[in-house]
Structure 1
Amino acid sequence: MDEGVHLYIMYDIEDNAIRGRLAARLMFYGMRRIQYSVFEGVVSPREKLTIVEEIDGLALGDNDKVHIVELCARCVKKRIVIGDMPEEREHLVL
């Protein structure tokens, strides 16, 4: 199996349906919501590409934004979290 890629995905999307669809897809990939429009998690490199393709395929509005930040292993160790972090999620299997 490929080594995991640690991602933070943050978005500002006006349309409720598109925003909800994106949140559901990120949870499908095992990412956890750490703020209302911020998700964090570890995915495979292939899943990262798929997530980027899915986001790119959304009908985003002119003012919508999605930021995808990949953290290296060293950066993950150096991050500072103040407060409770939601438990890590596993992939959703249907």
Structure 2
Amino acid sequence: MIAWVLYDIENDSVRNKVAKYCKQAGLYRVQFSVFLGTLEKNQKDTLQLQIENLIAEDKDSVYIFPMSKNELQQTVLLGKAFDKKLITDEVKALFL
């Protein structure tokens, strides 16, 4: 599945660890607190558990949104945007 991970995390150390986990999962950073990429279900579950164990649930917000490839192709990118071609299974395999 294609997944967006968006977060608003107060603590710098926790925020950096969440970004590290997103990168380790193969996600591509599209903004400072926004990642996008292809995840298998077990990868999403692992990432979710890692993040849940780090964040302060009363202060921090993290969203993991699934998206189909068709929906990604229909997105509108304005201004300085990411390259949609980077978010595919083939490219992700090159970065592992």
Answer yes or no: same fold by TM over 0.5.
yes
- What secondary structure, in the 3-state scheme, does the structure 2 residue paired with 1:74 have? helix
Aligned to 1:85: 82
Q: How does 1:1-80 map to 2 (within 5 A)?
A: 5-60=1-56, 62-80=58-76
What do residues 41-69 of structure 1 show as CA deviations (whole Å, max 9, x unaligned)?
A: 11111111111111111142522100111
Q: Percent identity?
A: 24
Aligned residues: 89
CA distance in 2 between counterparts of 1:49 and 1:38 reads: 18
**What 5-or-longer segments of structure 2 have no aligned partner?**
none
- What secondary structure, in the 3-state scheme, does the structure 2 residue paired with 1:68 have? strand
Query: RMSD across aligned C-alpha pairs, in angstroms?
Result: 2.1
More helix by share: 2
Please give the TM-score of this superposition, normalised by the length of structure 2.
Answer: 0.79
